[in-house]
Structure 1
Amino acid sequence: MKLYDLEPSGNCYKARLFASLTNIPLELVAVDFLAGMHKQSPVIDLNPWGQVPVLEDGETVLRDSHAILVYLAQKYATPEWYGNSPEEQAEIQQWLSTSANEIQNGPGAARLVDKFGYELNKDATLVVADRILGLLESHLSNNDWLALDRPTIADCAVMPYVGLAWEGGIKLEDYPQIGQWIDRIKALPGFIPMSGLEYF
């Protein structure tokens, strides 16, 4: 099973992290963005969007980090990571949607501006980040984990771009409950680091 991967990508890291936490073997295939490998074969053949991560598992090819998390959890991990019922899975799914929307467009987008020079409206990203990080801080003041009172793929989906928010100029020190949650994730057996997360 191959994961076409870019080390600084939080979306790629979500898949790497979950696979490590659950002892799922992945063959990492580094994609050189600067050389345009994401627009060349084999990546562009597998994913016409020209983005990573891409998971290739036999005949199954998936191009979205959250789809990859669901697939790996359902096919290769134990049920607690994605839930045992429609109710549990829906509770997790709402956090995957938060990751793809508010987290991506808030702290994730602010990081794209500061770290990678993307031409986005930085002020708008900070407005989104302030709101979602406040909501996340409030949720974590009463919960150790995002969903189901245990680690799930929801935590793997949301944590990377939150933990990397400082690279977008966001002070994570203002969110102590988020900091404690990140520490709990880092303490899980099988946790692997990513460049940038070690500073928080």
Structure 2
Amino acid sequence: MPDTHALNDRPVTVYRHPKSGHCHRVELMLALLEVPYETVDLDMANGAHRAPEYLKISPLGQVPAIEDNGITLADSNAIITYLVERYGEPTTWIGTDPLEKAQVQRWLSIAAGEIAAGPCAARLVTVFDAPLDHEAAKAKARDLLAVMDSHLDGRDWLAADRPTLADIAGYSYIAHAPEGGVSLAEYPHVRSWIARVEHMPRFVAMAGSPILA
């Protein structure tokens, strides 16, 4: 692994909401890579994410975003990819061959698609009072969890024989699905996978939110 102290003169700044799973996946990646970072909590209820200064960092007004020695970047999946390319061992986290890389990318797409529309959306309703269809989001979450549970039957990790970006991108909203009213009781392989992620060295939990699996 590269010497992170040599690569960055100061900690990476993470602009976040502390209960956002998208933000947590970035913090988890930073922690696993042992990259020093500091957090800036945005008062999103009062529009801090729409302030002109922040829109220069995150043009869509989304969290998370990072500043890293003059570099700014938004979008959680883009950020974790950047972090492993800059501070980690890319082949370990992104894939060692074309098929592994494709499998990792598949789960990054699922994180941005089915996970966002299912367990993430369900949790947005209960934690943030988002005006979304809660029952539809819970149904999507259960459909996804059934697929994930079958996929994890006989394997430890989502995309390879070791943790990859797929697991980091998938963990936060799946582990915290119960906060959105989606039980994990019927998905033993998913629960075992969650436990494996949580036992990784230097794992950090989401701020202000219990581990529920």
Same fold (TM over 0.5): yes
Question: For 1:129-179, what per-residue CA distance to the aligned partner results, in whole angstroms no more than 9, with x for missing partners?
Answer: 121110000111121000111011111100100111111111111211111
Amino acid at match of 2:130: Y
Q: 1:197 to 1:144 in 2, by over 3 A?
A: farther
Return the match for 1:150 from 159, 162, 165: 162
Once the two structures are aligned, what percentage of the paired residues are identical?
40
* Distance of 2:108 and 2:66 partners within structure 1: 18
Q: Give the number of aligned pairs.
A: 200
Counterparts of 1:40-51 in structure 2, within 5 Å, are: 40-51=51-62
State how far apart, in whole Å, the 2-side matches of 1:197 and 1:95 are. Answer: 24
Distance of aligned partners of 1:197 and 1:86 in 2 relative to their CA distance in 1, 3 Å threshold: farther
Residue 125 of structure 1: aligned partner: 137
CA 1:197–1:179 in structure 2 vs 1: closer, same or farther (change >3 Å)? farther
Tell me if the contact between 2:66 and 2:73 (Cα under 8 Å) persists in the aligned partners. yes
Partner Cα separation in structure 1 for residue 93 and residue 131 of structure 2: 36
Separation of aligned partners in 2, 1:75 and 1:84: 17
SS at the partner of 2:205?
A: coil
Displacement of 1:87 in angstroms is 2.9
CA contact under 8 A between 2:176 and 2:211: conserved in structure 1? no
CA distance in 2, matches of 1:42, 1:182: 37
Structure 1 residue 197: Cα displacement = 4.0
The 1-side partners of 2:41 and 2:202 are apart by 21
User: Partners in 2 of 1:33 and 1:172 — Cα distance?
Assistant: 30
- For structure 2, the residue ranges without an aligned partner over 5 or more in a row are 1-11
How far apart in 2 are the matches of 1:197 and 1:161?
12
Distance in 2, matches of 1:71 and 1:173, equals 35
2:208 aligned with 1:199, yes or no?
A: no
Describe the SS at the equivalent of 2:56: helix
TM-score by length of 1: 0.94
Q: Secondary structure at the match of 1:151?
A: coil
Distance 2:142 2:46 in 1: 35
Secondary structure at the aligned position of 1:132 is classed as: helix
Q: CA RMSD in A?
A: 1.4
1:184 aligns with 2:190: no
Residue aligning to 2:47: 36
Q: Check the 8 A contact 1:4/1:43 in 2, yes or no.
A: no
Deviates more, 1:103-112 or 1:52-61: 52-61
For structure 1, which segment, 150-159 or 123-132, has the greater mean C-alpha deviation from structure 2 after superposition? Answer: 123-132
Q: 1:61: how far off?
A: 1.9
Distance 1:87 1:29 in 2: 37
2:99 is matched with 87
Q: What is the Cα deviation at residue 41 of structure 1?
A: 4.3
Runs of 4+ in 1 over 3 A off after TM superposition: none
Could you tell me which amino acid in structure 2 is paired with residue 44 of structure 1? L
Q: Does 1:52 align with 2:63?
A: yes
Shift of 1:125: 1.0
Instruction: Tell me the distance in 1 between the aligned counterparts of 2:98 and 2:54.
Output: 33
Letter in structure 2 aligned against 1:2: T
1:42 Cα offset (Å):
2.8
- The answer to whether the Cα contact below 8 Å between 1:163 and 1:197 also exists between their aligned partners in 2 is no
Q: Say which SS state the counterpart of residue 162 (structure 1) adopts.
A: helix
Judge which range, 149-158 or 77-86, deviates more. 77-86
**Unaligned segments of structure 1, at least 5 residues:** none
Residue 5 (structure 1) aligns with: 16
